[in-house]
Structure 1
Amino acid sequence: MQFHTELSPESLPHRLSLKSRIVTVGSCFADVIGQRLSDHKLNVLNNPFGTIFNPVSVAKLLTMSLYGTAPDENRYVERDGIWFHYDFHSSLWAPSRDDLRDLLLKRLAETADAIRKADFLFLTLGSAVVYRHIETGKVVANCHKMPGSLFEKYLYQYEYLLDDLKRLVKTLHKANPKLKLLLTVSPVRHTRDTLPLNSVSKSTLRVLAHELTVWNDWVSYFPAYELMIDDLRDYRFYEADLIHPNAQAHDYIFEKFADSAFDAELRGFVTEWATLSKSMAHRPLYGETSPAHRQFLTRLATQLEQLAKRVDVTAELTEVRDRLKFQEQDESKTKVLA
């Protein structure tokens, strides 16, 4: 007897490998996937602009980045002595306008460089509801906790969103013809928009993603939204706010993503790395200086040295060697005292 509808996504036409270079951009779900990929030792530039929910701002930032366009000088804003920019997330801030400009220019340049070298761009669309700055008439990526009276909130028209994303797809392909674009719709529910409007918003984004995959063979879609809404489909998979998927949901969705998107070598590595990660977190019951633990650390160091031929494990190898060195020093002190 089945008590839920299990969704097993089809294998993506373009698979991620251990050597893939990846950029993630978009909503907070892009952060989640990007961090998971990074934790599995893949080369990832994770959400360089901060959390960006709407496709208008995503398209604008990526286009600015690839064309080398400087941030709009009229969209800087100061609040409580801190400077922000309406086209970027509030995680990008500085104590002065000039410092923020330098930071944003650097971030745009880094993103452009990463995209031109990337194999995959993982783009997560969060909401079709936008906030327009009334004074300038332009959509903002973030309101930076400025008074609500400065903004107008509305559902962006599908046709305009499609035009923006079509132009973005062309710009990306021109900048990097080998780039593969992987689209998702964020499973995070925007209940502040009301549930009916959230449904319209998510539906709009899903149709946009479908349209882009139909006409571009290098653009694919992964059903993260459908996995959350139709497969898990239970509040026990949400955080206490009943909006954000919890760790268990993220684990489930990432496992489905790995099955769908990883090549055989990468899937094997993920399993191997999971075992090594548990070993790294292990702490001995009877102290760090026992002979058994020394053997354990020596074996772990050997495994990491072998793995270093394939991925960057410098930090992990340094930690294990430091623990071994500490054990050797402790043994030396014990012998001296004896």
Structure 2
Amino acid sequence: MQFHTEFSPEVLPHRIGLNSQIVTIGSCFADVMGQRLVDAKLSVLNNPFGTIFNPVSISKLLTMALRGTSPDENGYIERDGVWFHYDFHSMLWANNQAELRDKLIACLTQTSDAIRKADFLFLTLGSAMVYRHIETGKVVANCHKMPGALFEKYLYQIDHLRDDMNRLLKTLHKVNPNLKVLVTVSPVRHTRDTLPLNNVSKSILRVIAHELTVWNDWITYFPAYELMMDDLRDYRFYEADLIHPNTQAHDYIFGKFAECAFDPDLRNFISKWTQITKSLAHRPLYGHNSPAHRQFLIKLIAELETMSKRIDVSAELAEVQGRLEKCILSNV
């Protein structure tokens, strides 16, 4: 007897390997998936602009980066002595406008360089609801806790959204013809928009994502949203706010992603690396000076040295070697 609808996505036509270079952009789900890829020792630029929910702002930022355009001078704001920019997340801040401008330009340059070299762009769309700054008439990525009267909130029209995404993807394909794009719709529900509007918003994003994959063989959809809504249809897979997927849900979705998106060599590598990370987290039950623990550390160093032929484990090696040295010195 089955108690849920298990869903296994089809194998993606373009597979991620250990040496693949990846950029993630978008909502908080992009952060989560990106960090999982980082933990798996892949080369990842993880959500450099911070959490960006709406595709309009995602398109604007990536286009700005790829064309070498400077941030809009009208977008800078100061609040409580701290400077922000309406096109960027609040994690990008500074004590003055000039300092922030330098920081934003550096972020745009880093992102442009990474995308031009990347094999994959993991693009997560969060919401079709946008906030328009009334004075400038422009959609913002973040309101930075400014008064709500400064903004108009509305559902972005699907045709305009389609046009924005098509322009962005043409630009991406022009600067990096080998880039493969993985599109997802974030499984995080935007309940502040009301559940009916959240469903309309997600539907718009899902239609756009589908159309992009139909028109472009280098764009693929990964069904994170469907996995959360249908496969994991239970509140035990949510955080206490009943909105964000919890760690168990992230584990499950990332596992499904690995099955369909990673090549066999990468899956085999991650299996071995998972065991090593467990060993790195191990602490001896009966003290750090026992012969058994010394042998454990020596074995772990050997495993890391073997791994070093494929990935950078210099930090992990240094940490374990330091533990071994302390263990030896304490017995002198």
Q: Does the pair score TM above 0.5?
A: yes
Alignment of 1:122-133 (within 5 A): 122-133=122-133
Aligned equivalent of 1:78: 78
1:57-114 CA distances to partner (integer Å, 9 max, x unpaired)?
A: 0000000000000000011000000000000001100011011000000000000000
**How many angstroms does 1:312 deviate by?**
1.0
Aligned equivalent of 2:177: 177
Aligned equivalent of 2:49: 49
Aligned equivalent of 2:260: 260
Alignment of 1:144-155 (within 5 A): 144-155=144-155
Aligned equivalent of 2:58: 58
Alignment of 1:281-300 (within 5 A): 281-300=281-300
Q: Secondary structure at the match of 2:37?
A: helix
- Report runs of 4+ in structure 1 exceeding 4 Å deviation: none
CA RMSD of aligned residues (A): 0.4
1:173-211 CA distances to partner (integer Å, 9 max, x unpaired)?
A: 011011000000000000000000000000000000000
Does residue 1:29 correspond to 2:29, yes or no? yes
Q: Secondary structure at the match of 1:260?
A: helix
Does residue 1:329 correspond to 2:329, yes or no? yes
Q: How many residues align?
A: 332
Does residue 1:278 correspond to 2:300, yes or no? no
1:33-65 CA distances to partner (integer Å, 9 max, x unpaired)?
A: 000000000000000000000000000000000
Which ranges in structure 2 are unaligned for 5 or more consecutive residues? none
Distance 2:281 2:264 in 1: 26
Tell me which amino acid in the other structure corresponds to 1:98: A
Which ranges in structure 1 are unaligned for 5 or more consecutive residues? 333-338
**How many angstroms does 1:266 deviate by?**
0.4
Distance 1:14 1:314 in 2: 30
**How many angstroms does 1:315 deviate by?**
1.0
Aligned equivalent of 2:239: 239
Q: Secondary structure at the match of 1:331?
A: coil
Aligned equivalent of 2:93: 93
Distance 2:312 2:260 in 1: 24
Alignment of 1:126-141 (within 5 A): 126-141=126-141
1:138-166 CA distances to partner (integer Å, 9 max, x unpaired)?
A: 00000000000000000000000000000
**How many angstroms does 1:327 deviate by?**
1.1
Aligned equivalent of 1:201: 201
**How many angstroms does 1:329 deviate by?**
1.5
1:104-133 CA distances to partner (integer Å, 9 max, x unpaired)?
A: 000000000000000000000000000000
**How many angstroms does 1:305 deviate by?**
0.2
Aligned equivalent of 1:336: none
Worse-superposed segment, 318-327 or 133-142: 318-327
Tell me which amino acid in the other structure corresponds to 1:254: F
Distance 1:25 1:134 in 2: 26
**How many angstroms does 1:137 deviate by?**
0.2
Distance 2:288 2:62 in 1: 49
Q: Secondary structure at the match of 1:288?
A: coil
Aligned equivalent of 2:230: 230
Tell me which amino acid in the other structure corresponds to 2:319: E
Aligned equivalent of 2:190: 190
Distance 1:200 1:115 in 2: 31
Tell me which amino acid in the other structure corresponds to 1:318: A
Distance 1:285 1:232 in 2: 37
Distance 2:177 2:131 in 1: 33
TM norm structure 2? 1.00
Distance 1:37 1:314 in 2: 18
1:227-261 CA distances to partner (integer Å, 9 max, x unpaired)?
A: 00010000000000000000000000000000010
**How many angstroms does 1:221 deviate by?**
0.3
Tell me which amino acid in the other structure corresponds to 2:163: D
1:297-318 CA distances to partner (integer Å, 9 max, x unpaired)?
A: 0000000000000111111111
Distance 1:166 1:74 in 2: 26
Distance 2:260 2:27 in 1: 21
Distance 1:314 1:68 in 2: 34
Distance 2:268 2:8 in 1: 19
Alignment of 1:94-109 (within 5 A): 94-109=94-109
Aligned equivalent of 1:19: 19
